[in-house]
Structure 1
Amino acid sequence: MIYFLVRIFFPTRKAFIIALFSLLLCYCIEFLQLYEAEWIVELRKTLFGRYVLGQGFLWSDILAYTFGIIFIFLIEKFTLKYKIHETGFRFK
């Protein structure tokens, strides 16, 4: 989901840059869950805070983000390569 969101905001960037930025964003959000200041704990009690900031740090989430972004990156690379070859369009 994050990969697609970043792709929407940066449609002309290379897929590798989108993947790196998406991973950085996901990792930042996940590591931010280790921060336990009172104000951020209160923010996490809201619906927005729960969905955006999460509830707790898990290494399995880091692994899931990494595999998910690599998977969609590979799908985009193979799909885009196929469409460019099939239609003859060139992207810079």
Structure 2
Amino acid sequence: MKSVLIRDRLIYFFAVMMTMAAGLASRHFGERLPGWVHEHFGDACWAGMIYFGVRMVWPHRSLVWAMCLSCVFSWMIEFSQLIQTPWLIEIRSTVLGALILGHGFLVIDLIRYTVGILCMVMIDRYFLRNKMAGS
């Protein structure tokens, strides 16, 4: 049982890393990508990374539970951008702070997060969980 838990967490850890790399690459190579990919993919990947992170910590919780927690967390981060205190602005001015907390509230980001999480749920449901069940 313990080796299954470790294996499942490793699979989700690699999913987090791959999703993070894809999101950062979409920002870095944005001028070489179609406009819609450059505009939306990074935020969708960020939320997808959150989803896989939730799955890594709680691999045997339901997909719906992980999806809801990921959406709530992502949306809370977005709504936190409405708070503009000096210490938060200072944190957001750093690269890491901007990557984690963002800069300003945008309704479209809520849609990007939701779509990103839904896409990762589909990947989880149809690829990752089948791979884990088949081993």
Identical-pair percentage: 35
Deviation at residue 82 of structure 1 after TM alignment? 8.3
Match runs of 1:21-36 below 5 Å:
21-36=69-84
1:70 has 2:118 as partner: yes
Larger Cα-atom Rg: 1
TM-score (norm. length: structure 1): 0.81
Worse overlay, 67-76 or 15-24: 67-76
Residue type at the aligned position of 1:9: V
**Letter of the structure 2 residue corresponding to residue 20 of structure 1:** C
How many Å apart are 1:72 and its aligned residue? 1.7
User: How many angstroms apart in 2 are the aligned matches of 1:63 and 1:53?
Assistant: 17
Query: For residue 42 of structure 1, what is the aligned residue in structure 2?
Result: 90
Deviation at 1:81, TM superposition (A): 5.7
Cα distance in 1 for residues equivalent to 2:107 and 2:85: 21
Segments of structure 2 that go 5 or more residues without pairing to the other structure are 1-48
1:73-88 to structure 2, matched below 5 A, reads 73-79=121-127, 80=129, 84=133, 87=134
Matched, 1:55 2:66: no
User: What is the CA–CA distance in structure 2 between the aligned matches of 1:12 and 1:34, rounded to whole Å?
Assistant: 34
Whichever structure has more helix as a proportion of its residues is 2
Length-normalised TM-score, structure 2: 0.57
| Structure 2 residue matching 1:36: 3-state secondary structure | coil
Residues 22-55 of structure 1 show CA distances to partners (whole Å, capped at 9, x for unaligned) of 0011001000011001111111112221111111
Structure 2 distance, partners of 1:18, 1:28, is 15
Query: Structure 1: which 5+ residue stretches go unaligned?
Result: none
Q: Secondary structure at the match of 2:105?
A: coil
Aligned length: 86
The C-alpha deviation readout for 1:44-74, integer Å capped at 9, x for no partner, is 1122211111111111110011111112212
Following the alignment from structure 1 to structure 2, what is the Cα–Cα distance between the partners of residues 51 and 74?
Answer: 25
